[in-house]
Amino acid sequence: MVIREAREEDLDALLELYLDLHERSVPDHDGCLRDTWGRILSDPDHHLIVCERDGAIVSSCVCVIIPNLTRGVRPYAFVENVVTRADARGQGYATACLNHAKALAQRADCYKMMLLTGSDDPKTLDFYRHAGYNSTDKTAFIQWL
């Protein structure tokens, strides 16, 4: 298993992986996709973490470090798009990605990490609890745009 940050050549593999998250299709390779991918790769606070097994990406998560004016001007981290290929689940790959995200947040002196899940599957919720997250400290509200 290799944990690393995404590279330019990982785009197609990540788009395929996201089909196991919630996407229904791979987006067109147009200017918007290329611009967004370039912005992600060039942003030092945007970490797209991947886990490789036998040279193939099997799991990933995003960790964004967000500057902050409270809590002693310490940033916080937001974790999103945690996904593992369906045939690779339960083998520790997503845990390794989340551990890498936590290490990045600690190095950036973040005071907290947050993530949201749309899942109500008890196995998914237990996975996040086991990874150190809780659902009791805050209440999340989402406004879809």
Q: Is residue 143 part of a domain?
A: no
Average pLDDT, the chain: 96
Q: Is residue 142 part of a domain?
A: no
Q: Is residue 54 part of a domain?
A: yes
Q: Is residue 137 part of a domain?
A: no
Query: pLDDT digit string (tens) for 63-92?
Result: 999 999 999 999 999 999 999 999 999 999
Question: For residue 131, which phi and psi values (nearest 5 degrees)?
Answer: -80, 0
How many CA atoms within 13 Å lie on the side-chain side of 73?
Answer: 0
With cut-offs at 50, 70 and 90, classify the pLDDT of residue 103.
very high
How deeply is 26 buried, as exposed, middle or buried, from its count of CB atoms within 10 A (0-12, 13-18, 19+)?
middle
Q: Is residue 87 part of a domain?
A: yes
**pLDDT at position 22, please?**
87
**pLDDT at position 23, please?**
86
CATH number of 76's domain: 3.40.630.30
Structure tokens at 79: 């974790």
Nearest alpha carbon to residue 105 among 46, 57, 58, 38: 46
Give the range of the structural domain holding residue 81, as residue numbers without chain letter.
2-131
Residue 69 CA: distances (Å) to CA of 72, 105, 111, 121, 139: 7, 16, 12, 35, 21
Provide the number of structural domains found in the chain: 1
- The residue among 33 and 22 whose pLDDT is bigger is 33
pTM for the full predicted model? 0.94
Q: Is residue 60 part of a domain?
A: yes
Q: Is residue 124 part of a domain?
A: yes
Structure tokens at 67: 């500057």
